[in-house]
Amino acid sequence: MTDFSVDQARSLAKHDLIEAYSALPPYPENRARLLYWFLSRSRLSGWRDVVALAVSLAQFGLETHDLVSEPARDEPLPAVRKRQLTVLAGDYFNGRFYELLSQAGGLEAIRLVSRAMCEVNRLKAGLYEKWRSLRMTAGEYLDELVMIKSGLFTPFTCFMQAGDAERFPVLLRALVRCEVIGEELAAANGDAARPGYVYWHLLQHGTPADREALLGGRAGSVAALAAKYKVTGLLEQMLDHQLAAVRRLAESFGSESLLAEIGRILDSIAGRMPVMKTANDLQR
């Protein structure tokens, strides 16, 4: 697929104030590219550009909102302003989604994605509740993130031919799992205190003494325990296996153009692996 342009999407999302004063997540280009490819074979083929752009902007808005942290006591004014702008940035990207589709007359697409947004927010609330009550395994954490990050893209199966409608969600979620594992791997090498896969793996597999140290929030305990239990190496193995699984799924379609598209996507994910492995080797 060559027509979908992330530069075009970024130009639609561009705002000088947002870029200057708020943090933004990576643009969900891979999910948009995969949706575009399948829409090219669907009843929405003539709408593939605007739908892929609009849905990826909506996803960008949701993931921007996810960066908003809880306010700290006596927080300095610049941090308050940054949080406020991040919230507004997410709202702005969601607004561009509605603007694009309403101008194109895509009311059905708006309804589909709006319902999907409600479901994604329900999943996020459930994830937050599990996090607060410590009722979650590391595997469940990954599964929840995959569902949350793929939820806006799956409603369009109703426009796809039967075979694609069954297999697109499977391939999409397999690809999103690659992205999620890659993000968790990057976080493990950077800020191990982040309550992500590392945290839940340690709670699940650590000794009682190690779990107590983790829950007690002792300085440096998460990073030290992550090294002790070799969690980064585990994530690397998981990513390698998942990349191979996505490639096998793509091969099952028998489409050279899909294989080429998936190859480009997987190469962009795997391209970060050498740096990550170097960091892990140092950890060991």
pLDDT by residue (tens digit) across 231-268?
999 999 999 999 999 999 999 999 999 999 999 999 88
Query: By the 8 A CB rule, do 52 and 35 touch?
Result: yes
Question: What pLDDT does residue 85 have?
Answer: 80
Per-residue pLDDT for 279 more than 80? no
Q: How far apart are CA 226 and CA 151, in angstroms?
A: 30
Mean pLDDT computed over 158-181? 95
Q: Helix 162-189 to helix 231-251 angle, to the nearest 10 degrees? A: 160
Q: How far apart are CA 43 and CA 186, in angstroms?
A: 38
Cα-to-chain-centroid distance, residue 120: 12
Highest mean pLDDT pick, 79-88, 145-154, 177-186: 145-154
pLDDT tens figures, 194-208: 689 999 999 999 999
Per-residue pLDDT for 277 more than 50? no
Residue 253, amino acid: F
Give the H or E element holding residue 120: helix 107-133
Query: By the 8 A CB rule, do 155 and 112 touch?
Result: yes
Per-residue pLDDT for 222 more than 50? yes
Per-residue pLDDT for 219 more than 60? no
Q: How is residue 206 written in tokens?
A: 């650590």
pLDDT tens figures, 13-66: 666 667 666 778 888 999 999 999 999 999 988 889 899 999 999 999 999 988
The CA-atom distances, in angstroms, between 231 and each of 200, 276, 280 are 11, 12, 9
Residue 23, amino acid: A
Q: Label residue 280 by pLDDT band (50, 70, 90).
A: very low
pLDDT tens figures, 78-123: 777 777 888 888 888 888 888 888 887 788 889 999 999 999 999 9
Specify the 3-state DSSP secondary structure of 252: coil
Q: Label residue 272 by pLDDT band (50, 70, 90).
A: low
* DSSP 8-state class, residue 40: T
Percentage with pLDDT > 70 across the chain: 85
Question: What pLDDT does residue 77 have?
Answer: 74
257 or 69: whose pLDDT is higher? 257
Query: By the 8 A CB rule, do 209 and 233 touch?
Result: no
Strands (E), 108-152: none
